[in-house]
Amino acid sequence: MKPKNHSSLFVRALEQLTKRSYSELFSIWISLALLFALGYFSFASIGDVSHHGPAQLVGIESHWIRFLDSLYYSIITATSTGYGDITPRGFSKALASMQSVSALFIFAIFVTKLVSHHQEIALKQVHRMTFEDVFHNIREGLFIIRQDFDGLIQKTSEHKKMDEEDWDTLIIAYKQAQNLLNEIPDFYNEDTTLYTLDARREQLLQEAVHRTMHRINHVLDTFSKNNINWQEHQPSMKEINELLRVTEKTIPLWQEKSPYQREEAFLSILKLKSDILGKIASTTG
């Protein structure tokens, strides 16, 4: 037979106490104060053991006054105030010692929970601010990508050609779009429950992605219209194909994790992705 592990029992008891609410902890503290008050009262009231009761309580004729004084002494002991107007003797010293330790222990748990609660509130605020920054960065990043595409559309429409810097801009825009799309499903991970992407913010993200995919279609149409052989530029083709792969993976995952019923928005994005694939297929087929 295995001996009892007293430390593990203590840890389990501590865990149970820390799970209690503030009102429950206060009730336990009051209950202990009443219980120890009964102990002091009993020692002071029973003749055979009265020499173990607090000295000032022995000899009080009224039981009610003796009990109220016992309760007063119990509360003073539990709060570690110690006015000295009532002094324990004999076994009541052991009671007072146990009460002081137990009361301070419960008070420490109460304070720990209070501090932990404030830390949790602060953590939620920091977490929310972080995710708000991520949300705004994604939307702003997609907006900047669209501006780059607009610049390429305007330049190719005017000059009918793309220089090396323009191709670099296109490649960087594709890469940035890949990174931003990969970040969106993280809003719905189980470990990010401190922050919830509401329906309005989700709709804003969907619109940003939709506009970006639509702009890519416009860019490719403009390239083709101005006889720019974009399908022969291997570095940019590699990145746009990777972007389409990321879109194919991310959008269904995003739709699966989203708690809001907006299937048409996801289908619209996938439709634009299919349009891009069609343009690539038509030029390379």
Cα first-last separation, the chain: 78
pLDDT of residue 226: 94
**Cα–Cα distance, 127 to 195 (Å, whole number):** 7
Residues 245 and 140 in one domain: yes
Residue 105 located in a structural domain: no
With respect to residue 107, please indicate whether it lies within any of the assigned structural domains.
no
The CATH number of whichever domain residue 268 belongs to comes to 1.20.58
- Does 81 share its domain with 125? no
**CB under 8 Å to 225, separation ≥6 — which residues?**
none
| Residue at 95 is within a domain | no
pLDDT per residue rounded down to tens, the chain (285 residues): 444 555 566 556 666 667 777 788 888 889 899 999 999 898 888 877 788 888 888 888 788 998 999 999 999 988 888 788 888 888 888 988 998 888 888 888 888 777 776 777 666 667 667 778 888 999 999 999 999 999 999 999 999 999 999 999 999 999 999 999 998 888 877 654 555 678 888 999 999 999 999 999 999 999 999 999 999 999 999 999 999 999 999 999 999 888 887 889 999 999 999 999 999 988 655
Statement to judge: residues 128 and 204 lie in one domain: yes
Cβ 109 vs Cβ 25: under 8 Å:
yes
pLDDT at 1: 45
Please provide the DSSP assignment of 184-245 as one string: GGGGG-GGGTTS---HHHHHHHHHHHHHHHHHHHHHHHHHHHTT--GGG-HHHHHHHHHHHH
Question: Does one domain contain both 172 and 274?
Answer: yes
Residues 264 and 169 in one domain: yes
Flag whether 136 is in a domain: yes
The residue type found at 58 is V
Select from 264, 73, 245 the least CA-distant residue to 174: 245
Say if residue 140 is in the same domain as residue 62: no
Instruction: Identify the domain containing residue 47 by its residue range.
Output: 6-89
In a domain, 150, yes or no: yes
Question: Is 115 domain-assigned?
Answer: no
Orientation of helix 91-159 relative to helix 63-78, angle to 10°: 40
- Do 129 and 248 lie in one domain? The reply is yes
Judge whether 158 lies within some domain. Answer: yes
Whether residue 29 is found in the same domain as residue 144: no
The answer to whether residue 106 sits within a structural domain is no
- Shared domain check, 30 and 141: no
- Specify the length of the chain in residues: 285
Number of domains composing the chain? 2
